[in-house]
Each structure stands twice: as structure tokens, then as C-alpha cells.
Amino acid sequence: MSEVLDAAGPRLRKLRRERGMTLADIAELTGVSESTLSRLESGRRRPSLELLLPLARAYDVPLDDLVGAPRTGDPRIHLKPVNRFGMVFIPLSRRPGGIQAFKMIIPASESRREPTPQTHEGFEWLYVLNGRLQLLLGERDLTLGPGEAAEFDSTLPHWLGNAGTGPVELLILFGPSGARTHLRATPGPPPDPAPR
């Protein structure tokens, strides 16, 4: 894992240069300071998910590509993709009876799939990694982009589709009925922004 993270710095520099952008340009897009970006690119700062997610959005690349993660993931885990309803589900957890995690890919298609809302017991959380997701939720028709999330009781009729021209990648969690997310944050005022 450390080798994957260590490779992120040169990849970040290469992506920025390929796009003809400065550290100041990326700092403005992401809210990450120029000094932090410089340390990331030079390898003097280890990347974290909090830093890599806005950078992946700014460069419009999947997080896996940003860090150069192997396509197969951890070789000790044998993930078997499941094709269902024209979508690909890649299981990320094996916890029986608890929350199940999947990476889901909805390919681009020349013809739009006819929405067929479904219901089932449980609760769902989803986070869009790449592409544009159409979420029909009861009477609501939502379009979510990279970095946007939704949570809902899955007894409400729902349907997921592709609202863009490229594939949609998302993380999705299925939980038992009554399960809700628990967000933890440190209370208090935000830190002062670094001087420019």
C-alpha cells in the first residue's frame, strides 16, 4: 500500500503539467494550499483520502488512477464482479448480516435504459466517484456528480441510471433496516486559513 501512495506525487505533478496548470490553479480549484500540493508532488507529504478526493475531482480522474492502484486491487482478495441489470457490482466487503459494500459501474449506453424502480428492505448510501448518476427516488429525479452522495430507505421506490456520456462509478453500501450513517466530526470553529 505504501508503494501505491508513494507513487501519487509524480502522478499528481504529471497530471498538473499535462493540463498546463500551476499549483495556484489547483489550489484554487481544490482548496488545498499550494505548499501542501508542492509537498505532495515532491513526496515530502504522504497523501491522504481527504487530499486525494478533491484532486481526483479537479483532474477528473478516478481515485485508482490518481494513485496508480492495480486494477485487481489487493491480490489476496479475489473480487468477482457481478453483472446485473446492465451494471457491474464489485463486492468490497464480506460481512454477513451487516453492511455490504460494493463498487458499482453503470456503463455508458447509446440507448437509455427504461427506469424500473425497485424496493427492498434496508437502507442505502451511495457516493459518486466519476460520471453523472441519475437517481429516481420516489417522485424525485436527481442527478448526482462526482463527490456527491445520497442516503435513503430502500423501501422507497428507487432506480439508478447513467445521466452522462461516460461510465458512472460509485461506491454503494447496503445496510439492514433501521441502520443509519453515523458521522463524527471534531466540534469547534474551523482552523484559520493559511496566509497566502
Region label for 138, one of left (φ > 0), alpha (ψ between -120 and 50) or beta (otherwise): left
Q: Which residue spans within the chain are E strands per DSSP?
A: 82-84, 87-91, 100-106, 123-130, 133-137, 140-144, 149-153, 158-162, 168-175
Helix residue ranges per DSSP H, the chain: 2-6, 8-18, 23-30, 34-42, 49-59, 63-67
Neighbour tally for 47: CB within 10 Å: 21
Alpha carbons 18 and 46: distance in angstroms, whole number? 22
Task: Write the pLDDT tens digit of every residue in 132-156.
Answer: 999 999 999 999 999 999 998 888 9
pTM over 0.75: no
CB 130 within 8 A of CB 169: yes
Residues 6+ apart with CB under 8 A from 94: none
* pLDDT recorded at residue 187: 56
- Tens of pLDDT, residue by residue over 47-101, are 777 788 788 888 877 766 776 655 544 555 555 677 777 788 888 876 656 778 8
Strand partners, 88: 83, 105
Distance CA 144, CA 196 (A): 33
- How many whole angstroms separate alpha carbon 196 and alpha carbon 189? 20
Tell me, what's the pLDDT at 23? 93
